[in-house]
Chain A
């Protein structure tokens, strides 16, 4: 009797200490979820558990990961950017249009589109204090209209991207590591460094956590916000150029499917949409999870409708699980 109760107590104790450990190391839990999903996918599709399976997962995740980077930065400030995918598409369009002049010009012009649109978003949100949801939603709609009209006029030329961009988006370094994953890796290193080790990173967290406090401490909040939207624009443009490189040609639906996943990857990775809490490492794993989930659902060979529902439910479960996990601490 007594020994039995001790066993039960011991188990309860283990469960509690596991919970505590999990609450303190949510990233490890997320990584474990990723591994489980990866193994599950391998079980369904035997060829998946291989170098090429891993490579495919990373390749799929790279543009999503970069769009989610833009989203993470803005969510940390308490904002959001619903125009990331339209910025990506627009940047890709301009890059394709400029491709006859060489890859360097094409990429630069593409990035410039991101910077300009990001700045406009930033000015609207940071200076004119438009709600970020409305600002970026409206921007997305305006961009869609603009590019629809421009494909017939100013952007009527090339819709094929330069070979170098194709290599960047779809090719692999020494035949094994996709270049787009290298680009993603570069973005990740810079962003993680910025968020953790720079004054700018501190301010991003500060204005998201308590804007009034930051203002009273002498922070010029508008500058920080503006810079965040500009960075978001440039990151979206990078993602768009990589996507265009992967498909080789551009169209207006190029990045459309990535909007909600870009938010979901950040949320699953533990970044709060209310700002001030989270980071990019979680988002990386979030993007990987979503990418492998996509493969899993494709291999399951069920109808599109079922796929969508399962995808949505799993995203919900992950975000909910994460919130439950960290709230305990």
Chain B
């Protein structure tokens, strides 16, 4: 490997020559390599030593459970953070990144997990800040079918999926050799993801490379050539994706077997019995996006909700949780009509929300304990007296969710999966009757996903009513009893989760008639 790194072609002409020849004896060239890269945040070791090799003209998957160190590695390669130890090579030469600008100059463009745009500026201003050529940016935007995007629009007013595309188009407009894409498809609709894949395939044909971080294994199998798998801050496997299947990827990521979890979860499902109607809505309508929505969910039931991006699902959840007020319609909790004026009212009635963006639900600088115990102090009478059972309740939630408490003093230091567990755990501490779960497994590793599915089923078995919106259709049959399909703010279909297939759901979600 070292030899490859040393004897790469350096001039562009030579590179072209190499591509044109495409001779089988021509070994693929190493474009980007890391050796023993390590990083610790205080007492928490994020990376223990990662060796990764990305060849020219390769789409390379970087996989691992949450907290395995993927995002840390991306930050190091993007020049956001320095590594504590180890080396990064580009075309065989050692590079040292002190700032993101260094990494960009070296030909690495990164799309981070969260949009890296200034919300109060327009898209055009953001581009000017990062010195991007507008024409080039437009060209890449058109590739994603967003050619008509108004560059004068404020970033905060654009939907998340558009921002992801803007981020990606901006990265591509930098003409990098390597694209680092952290969870790029997590917020995209299926057809947008398709376009991204097309583009990456083309990208690869031009002899450029990409590193793709994703939790969707189907994507890995489809478009990635190689996969580096991280576990506990180390690379534990380098696989050629054509030679393995999804199971092998999962096993490499987890190390241990995952079967027992699924079985307990299914056991919980078998013993479930449906109870009274917990939450019923009639004719719920919002100013723009939610139109005449009616449904009921019973205690013990997990009701799935499926929709393409931007069909009003987030508004609907806001209405149910009291975070927004409807213009028409009625919400009934346990048979009683309620007018939620604020989330407090909903929480009082036992209707609680796990929002799609966990960052809006967390207190980043407070401890895991304080985050979990937050809803316990909603009453004035709890202002002076902390309930004596607070500690054991919090402890039970931590154990039940197996939250990693090594970095418990500040929630912002936890990995994404652990943060999500904290958001869920909060309601285990306080208690609830109806849980509104908005895409709780977005951007979360497979182990944590399974833990969350199992937890949801357990909660339902104990009598909770759960409304689950998910962007991953495979979750529906795994977790839900029944599924509603939302299209353009209306409920257009209802299916039995056991018989629903991804294609029947997708068709309905596109507003197409489903023939049973």
Bound-state CA distance A184–B376 (Å) is: 31
Residues in chain B near residue A200, CB distance under 8 A: 377, 383-384
Bound-state CA distance A212–B359 (Å) is: 10
Residues in chain A near residue B363, CB distance under 8 A: 205-206, 209-210, 213-214, 276
B145 shortest CB reach to chain A, Å? 32
Q: Give the contacts of B329-388 with A (CB-CB under 8 A).
A: 342-344, 346-348, 352-353, 355, 360-366, 370, 373-378, 380, 382-386
Residue of B nearest to A209 (CB): B363
Residues in chain B near residue A212, CB distance under 8 A: 360-361
Residues in chain B near residue A197, CB distance under 8 A: 386
Interface size on A, residues (CB 8 A): 25
Does chain B have a CB within 8 A of A17? Answer: no
Residues in chain A near residue B346, CB distance under 8 A: 218
Q: Is the CB of A205 within 8 A of B42?
A: no
The verdict on A203 contacting B383 (CB below 8 Å), with A215-B342, A216-B343, A218-B347 known, is: yes
The digit string for A210-227, where 1 denotes a CB below 8 A from any CB of B, is 101111111110010001
The verdict on A206 contacting B386 (CB below 8 Å), with A216-B360, A218-B347, A223-B380 known, is: no
Does chain B have a CB within 8 A of A329? Answer: yes
Q: Is the CB of B426 within 8 A of A217?
A: yes
Does chain B have a CB within 8 A of A199? Answer: yes
The digit string for A245-263, where 1 denotes a CB below 8 A from any CB of B, is 0000000000000000000
Residue of A nearest to B412 (CB): A209
Contact of A202 among B344, B353, B377 (CB under 8 A): B377
B367 shortest CB reach to chain A, Å? 10
Residues in chain B near residue A203, CB distance under 8 A: 377, 383
Contact of A206 among B323, B348, B370 (CB under 8 A): B370
Residues in chain B near residue A205, CB distance under 8 A: 363, 365-366, 370
Does chain B have a CB within 8 A of A52? Answer: no
Residue of B nearest to A213 (CB): B361
Residues in chain A near residue B321, CB distance under 8 A: 216
Q: Is the CB of B385 within 8 A of A217?
A: no
The verdict on A217 contacting B375 (CB below 8 Å), with A199-B384, A205-B370, A276-B365 known, is: yes
B160 shortest CB reach to chain A, Å? 16
Q: Main SS of chain A's interface residues?
A: helix
Q: Is the CB of A218 within 8 A of B383?
A: no
Bound-state CA distance A223–B374 (Å) is: 15
Does chain B have a CB within 8 A of A277? Answer: yes
Does chain B have a CB within 8 A of A198? Answer: yes
The verdict on A199 contacting B382 (CB below 8 Å), with A210-B362, A216-B355, A329-B42 known, is: yes
Residues in chain A near residue B384, CB distance under 8 A: 198-200
Q: Is the CB of B366 within 8 A of A209?
A: yes
A83 shortest CB reach to chain B, Å? 24
Residues in chain A near residue B378, CB distance under 8 A: 217-220
Residues in chain B near residue A213, CB distance under 8 A: 360-363, 374
B409 shortest CB reach to chain A, Å? 10
B369 shortest CB reach to chain A, Å? 10
Bound-state CA distance A243–B370 (Å) is: 38
Bound-state CA distance A277–B385 (Å) is: 22
**Can you pick out 28 interface pairs between chain A and chain B where the beta carbons lie within 8 Å of each other?**
A197-B386, A198-B383, A198-B386, A199-B383, A199-B386, A200-B383, A202-B377, A203-B377, A205-B365, A206-B370, A209-B366, A210-B364, A213-B363, A214-B374, A215-B342, A216-B321, A216-B353, A217-B375, A217-B378, A218-B343, A218-B378, A219-B375, A219-B377, A220-B342, A220-B378, A227-B383, A276-B364, A277-B365
Contacts A198-B383, A205-B370, A214-B363 supplied; 7 other A-B pairs, CB < 8 Å: A206-B370, A213-B360, A213-B361, A215-B323, A218-B343, A220-B344, A276-B366
Chain B residues at the A interface, C-beta cutoff of 8 Å: 42, 321, 323, 342-344, 346-348, 352-353, 355, 360-366, 370, 373-378, 380, 382-386, 426
Chain A residues at the B interface, C-beta cutoff of 8 Å: 20, 197-200, 202-203, 205-206, 209-210, 212-220, 223, 227, 276-277, 329
